[in-house]
Amino acid sequence: MTKKRIVLKVGSSILSDGYEINKLQIQKIARLISALRERYDVLLVSSGAVASGYTLLKIDKTQITNKQALASIGQPLLMESYRLEFVKYGIITAQILVTGYNFDSRTQTRHAKDCVDTLLAHGILPILNENDTTSTKELTSDLIGDNDRLGAYVTHYFDAGLLAILSDIDGYYDSNPKHNPDAKILSHITQIQPDVLNEQASPNGYFATGGIVTKLQAAQFLLKHNRSMFLSNGNKLEVIQTFLLDSKQISGTLFGNYYF
């Protein structure tokens, strides 16, 4: 039976422990994906290169050239961290670095998808990340280059049905929970109001480049292409696991309709 294809996006706010990469979180993500692969073909979009680089070089990441340097140091460290955890489950990992420009070219997009198709056919886990060393859009916090948007592009252009974003929030609320203690999570959304898509992004973590706005923009992109997105807390992995393996939504926000 052909497995459904999904994309799992893990943000820096989940992978970094304060100012450095959190190896325990890598272990938990590997365990989760190992379980998900019993039912799905999984692609992983992972932030964390800059945070990994910071473990070896303590420089100001707010300067673009410094962030590029940290990313170039940290990307191989991040991949090695993943490799060491996934090998415990007999899973081989593959690195794919992309930029928004790759999706502007039909030829480049097709070649990248062919590569992903081949990897998945052989049971290999593709791990994708923005090429921070050359992608100035993401480095200057331009929303187009954010990994939330990258996850949406990967989901659409690589023919996945669902993007699951693991963030540091429980879902999308009806109001700002930081200002309103009575704010409630919206469990299911099929339409996003245009005004919220143009608000300024407000990343929470030291290494984060997005915020709720970039996630809504990613969801809007997928809704336009008849695909879905699920937003949940990456510190509560039982939410995404229950959603995908038991077809039950105990928390989080589903954008669109996803049929298991």
What's the pLDDT tens digit per position in 121-177? 999 999 999 887 776 555 443 334 578 999 999 999 999 999 999 999 999 999 888
pLDDT of residue 73: 96
Where in the chain are the domains? 4-255
Per residue in 21-42, pLDDT (tens digit) is 899 999 999 999 999 999 999 9
Residue with tokens 């709720």: 212
1 has pLDDT over 90 = no
* Confidence band for 259, pLDDT divided at 50, 70 and 90: low
Tokens of 28: 């938990």
Q: How far apart are CA 100 and CA 221, in angstroms?
A: 14
> Which range is least confidently modeled, 172-186, 208-222, 229-243?
208-222
In CATH terms, 4-255 corresponds, of 3.40.50.620, 1.10.630.10, 3.40.1160.10, 3.30.70.2190, to 3.40.1160.10
DSSP strand pairing (228-233 vs 253-255): antiparallel
- Three-class SS of residue 164? strand
pLDDT of residue 208: 42
pLDDT of residue 196: 80
Are the C-beta atoms of residues 51 and 16 closer than 8 Å to each other? yes
Per residue in 229-249, pLDDT (tens digit) is 999 999 999 999 999 999 999
Reported pTM:
0.91
Per-residue HEC secondary structure of 88-111 comes to HHCCCEEEEEECHHHHHCHHHHHH
pLDDT of residue 137: 56
133, HSE (Cβ side, Cα atoms, 13 Å): 11
Look at the alpha carbons of 66, 198, 191, 235 in this order and tell me if their dihedral is positive or negative.
positive
Output the CA angle 145-148-152, nearest 5 degrees.
95
Residue with tokens 């700002």: 176
* Confidence band for 260, pLDDT divided at 50, 70 and 90: low
Are the C-beta atoms of residues 162 and 152 closer than 8 Å to each other? no
Q: What is the pLDDT of the chain when averaged over all its residues?
A: 89
- Three-class SS of residue 31? helix
pLDDT of residue 144: 43
DSSP state at residue 212: H
pLDDT of residue 125: 99
pLDDT of residue 200: 55
